């Protein structure tokens, strides 16, 4: 399968803990995006990378959130000191330039 | 006002019906437009891009009205398998060539026998 993969698929954590998610994009795609989606809403843009450079960050991305793409391939999204409001589906997508975005299956986070 | 607005529905239609969704956007600098489909508990998948002149792909037709700042999606001869949430996406270009994709909340379609 050469699509976008995300790990883990599900994560349950206690409030205050740190969590890290990984996204592996389609190999020839230079752009990688992170989104958050809650029930009944569309995906909300968090940030995106072109190769290893983080080009845009949403105001939604508070100081507790950080994303990296160190070698321009896979990316990680870390949430520090999780809060119950962080419970959501975290989606990763990749694209070649401004072409179609292909989404991964998402990581579903539940903060207790 | 949200940047991208969609009627959440649900739209309940019988098989074979024609159904249309609209999506309005607030930023006139928006550059490109798409419709995505999302099945329950699955990731979004591209349905079609929306071009200025309008475009068609089988039973699906997408149109863009820049003057009124909306895009539309028309589905003809609805199938049961068309039941899903339809998300519109508007890309706003930023200085330096980057852009921010903004999704609407989606319109739910239920096609019944």
Report the pLDDT value the prediction gives residue B27, as an integer from 0 to 100: 83
The percent helix, strand, coil of chain B (3-state, each to 5) is 5, 60, 40
Mutation pick from B94, B101, B105, B106 vs chain A, by most beta carbons of A within 10 Å, is B101
Task: Report the alpha-carbon distance of residue A84 to residue A73 in Å, rounded.
Answer: 30
A42, B46: Cβ pair inside 8 Å? no
Per the structure block, which two tokens stand in for A20?
A: 């890290």
Give me the percent of chain B exceeding a pLDDT of 90: 77
Pick B106's closest partner by Cβ from A35, A42, A45: A42
Pick B43's closest partner by Cβ from A50, A58, A104: A104
Mutation pick from A33, A34, A43 vs chain B, by most beta carbons of B within 10 Å, is A43
Task: Report the alpha-carbon distance of residue B37 to residue B14 in Å, rounded.
Answer: 19
Nearest CA-CA partner of B105 in A101, A40, A103, A47: A40
Q: Quick one: closest CA in A to B93, which residue?
A: A98
Q: Quick one: closest CA in B to A59, which residue?
A: B100
What confidence tens digit (pLDDT) does each residue in B2-50 have?
A: 789 999 999 999 999 999 999 999 987 778 899 999 999 899 999 999 9
Q: Quick one: closest CA in A to B6, which residue?
A: A42
* Mean pLDDT for the stretch of residues A3-13: 97
Question: Which is more confidently placed, B30 or A29?
Answer: A29
pLDDT at A60 over 90: no
What confidence tens digit (pLDDT) does each residue in A67-99 have?
A: 999 988 999 999 999 999 999 999 999 998 877
Report the pLDDT value the prediction gives residue A90, as an integer from 0 to 100: 98
A58, B100: Cβ pair inside 8 Å? yes
Report the pLDDT value the prediction gives residue B30, as an integer from 0 to 100: 78
**Positive or negative: CA dihedral A27, A108, B106, B42:** positive
Per the structure block, which two tokens stand in for B17?
A: 């019906």
Report the pLDDT value the prediction gives residue A1, as an integer from 0 to 100: 54
Give me the percent of chain A exceeding a pLDDT of 70: 99
Given a contact cutoff of 8 angstroms between Cβ atoms, the answer to whether B25 and B70 are in contact is yes
* Mean pLDDT for the stretch of residues B50-54: 89
**What phi and psi values does residue A96 have, to the nearest 5 degrees?**
-100, 105
What confidence tens digit (pLDDT) does each residue in B59-110 have?
A: 999 999 999 999 999 999 999 999 999 999 998 877 777 778 899 999 999 9
pLDDT band at A34 (very low <50, low <70, confident <90, very high): very high
B43, A103: Cβ pair inside 8 Å? yes
- DSSP string of A78-89, one letter each residue: EESS--GGG-EE
Pick B100's closest partner by Cβ from A45, A101, A104: A45
**What phi and psi values does residue A86 have, to the nearest 5 degrees?**
-80, -10
**What phi and psi values does residue A11 have, to the nearest 5 degrees?**
-145, 125
pLDDT band at A59 (very low <50, low <70, confident <90, very high): confident
């Amino acid at each position: 399968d050469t699509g976008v993969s995300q790990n883990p698929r599900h994560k349950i954590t206690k409030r205050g803990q740190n969590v890290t998610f990984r996204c592996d994009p389609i190999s020839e795609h230079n752009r990688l995006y992170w989104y958050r989606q809650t029930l009944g809403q569309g995906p909300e843009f968090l940030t995106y990378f072109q190769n290893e450079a983080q080009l845009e960050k949403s105001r939604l991305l508070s100081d507790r959130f950080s994303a990296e793409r160190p070698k321009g391939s896979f990316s990680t999204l870390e949430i520090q000191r999780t809060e119950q409001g962080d419970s959501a589906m975290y989606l990763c997508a990749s694209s070649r330039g401004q072409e179609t975005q292909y989404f991964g299956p998402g990581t579903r986070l539940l903060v207790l | 006002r949200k940047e991208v607005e969609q009627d959440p529905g649900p739209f309940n239609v019988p098989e074979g019906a024609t159904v249309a969704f609209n999506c309005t956007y607030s930023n006139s600098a928006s550059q490109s437009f798409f419709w995505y489909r999302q099945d329950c508990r699955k990731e979004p998948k591209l349905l079609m891009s929306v071009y200025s002149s309008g475009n068609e792909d089988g039973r699906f037709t997408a149109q863009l009205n820049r003057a009124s700042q909306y895009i539309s999606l028309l589905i003809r001869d609805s199938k049961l398998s068309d039941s899903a949430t339809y998300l519109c996406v508007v890309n706003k270009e930023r200085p330096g060539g980057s852009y921010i994709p903004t999704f609407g909340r989606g319109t739910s379609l239920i096609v019944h026998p």
